[in-house]
Amino acid sequence: MTQIRIEPLTAEAFAPFGDVLAPKSAPDRMINAGRCERHHALATVERHGGEAIISIFRSDPVSLPYECTLLERHPLGSQAFMPMGQGAWLSVVAPDTGGRPGTPRGFLVPSGVGVNLRAGVWHGVLTPLDHAADFLVVDREGDGVNLQEVTIPPVVFTQ
């Protein structure tokens, strides 16, 4: 069984898979009579002819070490996950290797931070740590097959 150390989430390390959804070091502009910072266009919704939709996903928690055996991808659209509560969570992603997932990587996503996965990026299921969590999800709805799932040999993610 493969063991993989979880990495801290940085925009640079996560760039091959998508975008980190967190406020910038400075807002793009102030709105609402100067009472609200706007951190504008943190990611783009890839939708290849479909519509962008917003959903809430409620996920059971996992504990570390975490054994991952299922990856999926959405070839026709991006998928953004933003936690609605407090608590860190794990984002498992893998590069594409000839239509199959390559070696997975695990990123520890800090509380209050989300990710936007590019279309076609292999990823694990939602994995909040230690308690159930709700996520605001922005993804694609429309014609075409936009879900591929594969079972992989067990990979254990540790801190």
Percent of the chain at pLDDT above 90? 99
What average pLDDT does this structure show over 18-37? 96
Residue 9, pLDDT above cutoff 90: yes
Query: 3-state class of 45 per DSSP?
Result: coil
Distance, CA of 48 to CA of 50 (rounded, Å):
6
> Is this structure's pTM higher than 0.85?
yes
Per-residue pLDDT reduced to its tens digit, 85-143: 999 999 999 999 999 999 999 999 999 999 999 999 999 999 999 999 999 999 999 99
- Residue-level pLDDT at 58: 96
Query: Domains in the chain and their CATH numbers?
Result: 2-158 (2.60.120.480)
pLDDT of residue 1: 87
Question: In one letter, which amino acid is 21?
Answer: L
Q: What is the largest CA-CA distance in the chain?
A: 56
Strands (E), 85-147: 89-94, 96-97, 100-101, 105-109, 114-117, 122-123, 127-128, 133-141
